[in-house]
Amino acid sequence: MRLTLDGGLDLLCNSVKIHHVDVDPKTGEDKLSMRDLLSWIKSNLIKERPEMFVKGDSVRPGVLVLINDCDWELCGSLDAVLEEKDMVVFISTLHGG
Amino acid sequence: MDEIVKTIGLKNNCTFCGVFRRQALDRGAALMRADKLVTGHNADDMAETVLLNILRGDIARLSRCTFIITGEDGPIPRCKPFKYTYEKEIVMYAYFKKLDYFSTECIYSPNAYRGFAREFIKDLERIRPQAILDIIRSGENFRISTSTKMPEQGTCERCGYISSQKLCKACLLLEGLNRGLPKLGIGRSRGLNSAKEDGEQRMLRSEVKGSNLQSKQCGTLDF
């Protein structure tokens, strides 16, 4: 699936905005949830300052998540199930002074 | 700003930047003969400001900070049309309309006080998104006790900009920078006629020293 990091988040991943990734569901599960994807991203894509991206189980408050251009809050947030062709976009709204 | 931070260190950066930027905006608008000055403050900003002023006990600002229009009696009124628009809406709009959205974190603000208010508000928003609008509404409905002494608006003796003191903050800060006194103008005086503020103001007005950075006269600005 395709992951896009916007609003400055790409800086946490060596300035790469778009990532094409293949993430397998956790062993024992047949579906990939957003929760799992987040921890995968934290371990594999985020190279610095993870606290800018995640807080606890979820994204840091202020980071918008879109699954196929739809607000993830409408899809179940952390429990949303992801498929191979999905596009997930993370946009940080935190900036400025 | 880089030069300023070299002089003052990594604290109180927001004070310098905010004060200078604000005056720069106002003066620039006057030079362009603008009628109105419109800023992009959004609902999140407004809620943060209300909280910040409460946390700091800044009653004067608390009373004014939720006005959607300010400076009406002045030459260039200012307005915040996005006052009730959530930052999230704005970002979503920019994304779907494919607008140029750039976000840069100010490099000098990692420990800015506002950051803590922001963090808190963001956590609140997650649990109860309406909290942001409710905080703004609370701010709009604050009424200041009549026994609280409030500052009066006058003009700066040096440059003519609006000021509640004899010298406006920008002139004060500038003087501090020129004299190598990075703390001049920083920190709040308790009460309007405190020794600290008085002392600073008197010192600056009695000396007519040449400085590297002159406060430009606001000649054409009918403040």
Q: How far apart are CA A29 and CA A33, in angstroms?
A: 10
Checking if the pLDDT of A97 tops 50, the result is no
Query: Which residue of chain B comes nearest to A70, CA vs CA?
Result: B92
Query: Which residue of chain B comes nearest to A62, CA vs CA?
Result: B122
Query: Which residue of chain A comes nearest to B111, CA vs CA?
Result: A97
Q: A96 in contact with B at a CB cutoff of 8 Å? A: yes
Q: Is residue B133 very low, low, confident or very high in pLDDT (cuts 50, 70, 90)?
A: very high
Mean pLDDT of B156-169: 88
Contact A61 B109 (CB under 8 A): no
Amino acid, res. B206: S
Contact B14 A97 (CB under 8 A): yes
Q: Is residue A67 very low, low, confident or very high in pLDDT (cuts 50, 70, 90)?
A: very high
Checking if the pLDDT of B212 tops 60, the result is no
Provide the CB-side half-sphere exposure for A47 (13 A, CA).
7
pLDDT score of B218: 53
Mean pLDDT of A51-65: 90
Q: A62 in contact with B at a CB cutoff of 8 Å? A: yes
Tell me the chain B residues in contact with residue A71 when contact means C-beta distances shorter than 8 Å. 92
Q: Is residue B85 very low, low, confident or very high in pLDDT (cuts 50, 70, 90)?
A: very high
- Strands (E) across chain A are located at 2-6, 18-20, 32-33, 54-55, 58-59, 63-67, 70-71, 81-82, 87-92
Mean pLDDT of B158-164: 86
pLDDT score of B108: 80
Distant-in-sequence contacts of B42-45, Cβ < 8 A, 24+ apart: B42/B82, B42/B83, B42/B85, B42/B86, B42/B87, B42/B90, B43/B82, B43/B83, B43/B84, B43/B85, B43/B86, B43/B87, B43/B132, B43/B133, B43/B136, B44/B86, B44/B87, B44/B118, B44/B121, B44/B125, B44/B132, B45/B87
Query: Which residue of chain A comes nearest to B13, CA vs CA?
Result: A97
Q: In B65-159, where does DSSP find H-type helix? A: 87-96, 113-127, 131-140
CA distances from A3 to A7, B56, B110 (A): 13, 41, 28
Mean pLDDT of B128-135: 96
pLDDT score of B220: 41
pLDDT score of B209: 44
For chain A, what percent of residues have pLDDT higher than 70?
97
Checking if the pLDDT of B80 tops 60, the result is yes
Query: Which residue of chain A comes nearest to B42, CA vs CA?
Result: A93
Of residues A6, A61, A92, nearest to B125 (C-beta): A61
Residues 2 through 61 of chain A touching chain B, CB cutoff 8 Å? 6-8, 60-61
Distance from CA of B109 to the nearest CA of A (A): 7
Q: What is the mean pLDDT of chain B?
A: 84
Nearest Cα residue to A92 out of B26, B166, B118, B78: B118
Distance from CA of B100 to the nearest CA of A (A): 10
Checking if the pLDDT of B219 tops 50, the result is no
CA distances from B68 to A17, A23, B39, B112, B151 (A): 37, 48, 10, 25, 20
Nearest Cα residue to A7 out of A72, A52, A69: A52
Reported ipTM: 0.87
pLDDT score of A88: 95
**Alpha carbon B76 to chain centroid, angstroms:** 16
Of residues A7, A69, A97, nearest to B101 (C-beta): A7
Q: How far apart are CA B110 and CA B3, in angstroms?
A: 18
The model's pLDDT over B24-73, given as tens digits with 9 standing for 90+, comes to 999 999 999 999 999 999 999 999 999 999 999 999 899 999 999 998 88
Q: What 3-state class would DSSP assign to A19?
A: strand
Q: Is residue B192 very low, low, confident or very high in pLDDT (cuts 50, 70, 90)?
A: very low
Contact B104 A91 (CB under 8 A): no
Mean pLDDT of B78-99: 94
Checking if the pLDDT of A64 tops 50, the result is yes
pLDDT score of B198: 61
